[in-house]
């Protein structure tokens, strides 16, 4: 990537940094501990355990919990899988906390268990991902996923003004963020006839699968000029595949997220840009809204958080955008 490209990316970054919030309508909720005599108990259920995005979100939630005097527990399944997340939610419901913050792993399959939590009187907030019918939640806090997808295309476009073939490596169908990021990317691509998108493939949240997709696509399409990895695993997989195929110098990779391994790939030039979300902020704001509802105040129904486009050039100035491996 040349200097003018990175300068343009820095401009995108500046635009993208703003936080936007959409005001909400009224919402229910009510806590067992209103009045402040006992600390509220809130369960946080991650999309998956061990993912630096959700670890960083947990850090934000724990910091906010300390300020708010709330007790928080965190759990996550070993895979992004509604069949594994459902029993965790069921056990949360059995333990009757005041609130539940959750990143649902499927837009429809997670409806029943989360609705059951709300029906049991637990105040529900959705963080990061959402449901087809999120009406049981008092708040939804997430990045501008569609905007992030569009910004990812813009980064590829700016590095390749002559256009060419690009590949989207998605994380997994059924996860709301996957759909929104791909939509944002492909809608932006459709505006520029110099680019064509190969059929989207899915890494299924496995780095090895992302790498396999990229090496086999490069064999069939040696003229590929860009790859968009829609989350940490897809993007890490894309970078791994490119290294395996010795193609890092001729393909632009833009990934969502900013885990430590992704940042290393940015530093060593395998990846050209990262769409860093604000997971700690998502968690913090989710907890604040759930606590507001528990206190009988009106929570914001929808909050959209911003992102930073990280490049080699601006990384040093944006170290706080890098995700954490522990709190």
According to the binding rule CB under 6 A, does residue 175 interact with ligand T6T? yes
Cα distance between residue 165 and residue 260, in whole Å: 28
According to the binding rule CB under 6 A, does residue 233 interact with ligand T6T? yes
Q: Given the rule CB under 6 A, which of 19-27, 114-122, 170-178, 306-314 is the region that contacts ligand T6T?
A: 170-178
Q: Tell me the closest approach of the beta carbon of residue 239 to ligand T6T, in angstroms.
A: 14
Q: Tell me the closest approach of the beta carbon of residue 161 to ligand T6T, in angstroms.
A: 28
According to the binding rule CB under 6 A, does residue 323 interact with ligand T6T? no
Selection from 66, 83, 142 nearest residue 307 by Cα = 142
- Which of 44/233 has CB closer to ligand T6T? 233
One of 5, 6, 129, 285 touching ligand T6T (CB under 6 A): 129
According to the binding rule CB under 6 A, does residue 206 interact with ligand T6T? no
- Which of 235/247 has CB closer to ligand T6T? 235
According to DSSP, the β-strands at 195-197 and 123-127 are: unpaired
How many residues contact ligand T6T, by CB under 6 A?
Answer: 15
According to the binding rule CB under 6 A, does residue 280 interact with ligand T6T? no
Rounded to 10 deg, the angle between the 279-294 and 52-68 helix axes is 40
Supply 149's token pair.
């997808």
Q: Tell me the closest approach of the beta carbon of residue 74 to ligand T6T, in angstroms.
A: 14
Supply 36's token pair.
């402040």
- Which of 98/128 has CB closer to ligand T6T? 128
Cα distance between residue 109 and residue 255, in whole Å: 27
Q: Tell me the closest approach of the beta carbon of residue 56 to ligand T6T, in angstroms.
A: 10
Instruction: Answer for the pair 103, 75: CB distance below 8 angstroms, yes or no.
Output: no
Selection from 47, 74, 30 nearest residue 299 by Cα = 30
Q: Which residues contact 282 (CB under 8 A, 6 or more apart)?
A: 57, 60, 127, 128, 141, 142, 143, 305
- Which of 228/256 has CB closer to ligand T6T? 256
Selection from 191, 201, 193 nearest residue 221 by Cα = 201
Q: Given the rule CB under 6 A, which of 17-25, 154-162, 171-179, 195-203 is the region that contacts ligand T6T?
A: 171-179
Cα distance between residue 108 and residue 100, in whole Å: 18
- Which of 108/196 has CB closer to ligand T6T? 108
Residues forming contacts to ligand T6T in the complex (CB under 6 A) are 47, 51, 53-54, 128-129, 171, 175, 177, 231-233, 256-257, 277
């Amino acid at each position: 990537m040349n200097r003018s490209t990175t300068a343009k990316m820095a401009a995108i970054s500046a635009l993208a940094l703003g936080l936007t919030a959409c005001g909400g309508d009224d919402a229910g909720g009510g806590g067992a501990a209103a009045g402040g005599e006992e600390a509220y108990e809130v369960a946080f259920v991650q999309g998956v355990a061990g993912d630096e995005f959700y670890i960083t979100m947990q850090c934000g939630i724990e910091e906010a919990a300390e300020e708010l005097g709330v007790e928080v527990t965190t759990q996550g399944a070993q895979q992004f899988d509604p069949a594994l997340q459902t029993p965790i939610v069921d056990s949360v419901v059995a333990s009757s906390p005041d609130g539940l913050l959750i990143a649902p792993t499927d837009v429809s399959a997670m409806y029943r268990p989360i609705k059951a939590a709300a029906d049991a009187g637990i105040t529900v907030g959705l963080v990061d991902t959402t449901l087809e019918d999120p009406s049981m939640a008092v708040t939804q806090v997430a990045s501008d996923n569609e905007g992030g997808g569009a910004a990812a295309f813009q980064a590829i476009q700016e590095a390749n003004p002559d256009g060419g073939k690009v590949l989207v490596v998605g994380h997994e169908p059924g996860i709301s963020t996957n759909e929104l990021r791909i939509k944002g990317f492909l809608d932006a691509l459709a505006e520029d006839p110099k680019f064509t998108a190969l059929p989207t493939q899915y890494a299924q949240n496995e780095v090895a699968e992302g790498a396999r997709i990229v090496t086999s696509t490069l064999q069939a399409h040696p003229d590929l000029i860009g790859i968009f990895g829609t989350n940490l695993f897809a993007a890490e997989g894309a970078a791994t595949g490119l290294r395996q195929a010795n193609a890092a110098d001729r393909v632009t990779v833009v990934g969502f997220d900013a885990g430590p391994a992704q940042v290393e790939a940015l530093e060593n030039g395998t990846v050209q840009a990262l769409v860093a979300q604000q997971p700690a902020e998502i968690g913090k704001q989710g907890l604040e809204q759930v606590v507001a509802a528990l206190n009988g105040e009106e929570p914001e129904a929808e909050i959209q958080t911003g992102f930073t486009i990280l490049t080699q050039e601006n990384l040093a100035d944006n170290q706080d955008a890098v995700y954490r491996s522990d709190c």
